[in-house]
Structure 1
Amino acid sequence: MVRPENRPRSRILVVKVIASQIRKGNIVDLDGKLYVVLNAESFHPGKGTPTTQIDMRRISDGVKTQQRYKTTDQVERAHVEDHEFSYLYQDGDGFHFMNQENYEQLQVPADVVGDYAPYLQEGMIVSLAIHEGIAVSMEIPQKVTLEITDTEPVVKGQTASGSFKPAMLSNGVRTMVPTHIVTGTRVVVNTADGSYVERAKD
């Protein structure tokens, strides 16, 4: 465990940005409390004022809230220090990472890891936003290489470019791959949505 006196302290810089610039993973300051953005979506109705809806979780106690702003409203975005960590393992307590600077380990709860969980690989370098020694948001590499564990066999005459078929990745995520890709092939996928990028070069 990291003792409180050894925890990396975060320096927080707050800047005002318009609501439509807020993105998932950003930290915002509402009435002096910090919230991590879970989702931000802008709406542009044909008539009426464009708005941005932001789903957030309060860092101090985990309470979730939803706010709707005009897209041009000013929102206070807090910049929390980012540190590089390497992924170690997952257990019943959460996900464990090691700080690349001082080799201290940090436990990160599942709700911070979120949809990225299936893409974590041992030794993967991620960026964790740290506030008061606690990870509040995470960014992982945009692309990872995984193996196809199950997909339909190639059918003659189905090699037309542009056709895709369902496949299962080695991390349990379903995706769509070109028809020429077979089981056992290593492919590169986007971690944001699991979409196929290309056949792995290795």
Structure 2
Amino acid sequence: MPKINGNEIRPGNVLEHSGGLWAAVKVDHVKPGKGGAFAQVELRNLRNGSKLNERFRSADKVERVRLEQKDMQFLYETDGMLVFMDTETFEQVELPAEILGERRPFLQDGMTIVVEFYEAEALNATLPQKVTCTVAETEPVVKGQTAANSFKPAVLDNGVRITVPPFVGQDEAIVVNTETMEYAERA
């Protein structure tokens, strides 16, 4: 595994640190008035989800881990576990539902997502960046309301509340960005 300097850590990197696998969530480079510069890194444990704040100086060496990514199909949820299937070997993998956090409602039956593996252990799942949803309820379209930045609240078919442009009506299919959880475009 490649070793990198403490100042080369970027958000999204996976590091082996103090006996565990950690994902860098947030990285701030700090240059105090006195003393050397360092990177203040917020880490999330990939196995149990715990968080840790750590300082890495530029001279510190850390192990950077490369995770293998596989496209897998979502099958079903059982007892708080999401079951995914490898579309080539038909092997099934279980991951806890809380791994997706507030993006969990966007997971649809049969959806292909990216599951990250370290050796043979499944650690993380990533939804597609854009998902098509249907607007379950929203205010009716008002003629003449064409202000550039006016958005109205809407509830999607999966129960998520977002804001949509005024021209989007009820029962209309829209594309939602799963990273920002915002309206992207009409489907």
TM-score range, shorter chain: 0.7 to 0.9
Query: How far off is 1:63 after superposition?
Result: 6.7
Q: CA deviation at 1:113?
A: 2.7
User: Counterparts in 2 of 1:53-68, with a 5 A limit?
Assistant: 53-57=41-45, 59=47, 62=48, 64-68=50-54
1:40 matched to which residue of 2? 26
Q: Which sits farther off after the overlay, 77-86 or 46-55?
A: 46-55
**3-state SS of 2:124 partner:** strand
1:16-53: CA deviation from partner (whole Å, max 9, x where unpaired): 255564324x421014x232327324266896756433
- In the aligned structure 2, how far is the partner of 1:180 from the partner of 1:159? 9
Which stretch shifts more, 168-177 or 39-48? 39-48
Name stretches of at least 5 consecutive residues in structure 1 with no aligned partner: 1-12
2:174 is aligned with 1:196: no
- 1:64, distance to aligned residue in structure 2 (A): 2.0
- How far residue 102 of structure 1 moved from its aligned partner, in angstroms, is 0.5
- Sequence identity, in percent? 32
Q: Does structure 1 residue 16 correspond to structure 2 residue 4?
A: yes
Q: Secondary structure at the match of 1:117?
A: helix
Question: Do residues 125 (structure 1) and 115 (structure 2) align?
Answer: no
Return the alpha-carbon distance in structure 1 between the equivalents of residues 7 and 125 of structure 2: 21
What residue in structure 1 maps to residue 158 of structure 2? 171
Q: Which has the higher contact order (CA 8 A, sep 6+)?
A: 1
Separation in structure 2 between the aligned mates of residue 15 and residue 122 of structure 1, nearest angstrom: 40
Output aligned runs, 1:139-178, within 5 Å. Answer: 139-178=126-165
Deviations 1:107-157 (A, max 9, x none): 111232333311111121111112353321122211011011111112232
Residue type of the alignment partner of 2:149? G
SS at match of 2:90: coil
Is the Cα contact below 8 Å between 1:147 and 1:169 reproduced in 2?
Answer: yes
How many positions carry a matched residue from both structures?
184
Matching residue's letter, 1:90: E
Distance 1:119 1:85 in 2: 16
Matched residues in 2 for 1:151 and 1:35: separation? 43
Cα distance, 1:175 vs structure 2: 1.0
The 2-side partners of 1:71 and 1:151 are apart by 51
Which deviates more from structure 2 when the two are superposed, residues 178-187 or residues 122-131?
Answer: 122-131
Unpaired runs of 5+ residues, structure 2, are: none
Q: CA RMSD in A?
A: 2.7
Aligned partners of 1:65 and 1:88: how far apart in 2? Answer: 30
TM-score (norm 2): 0.83
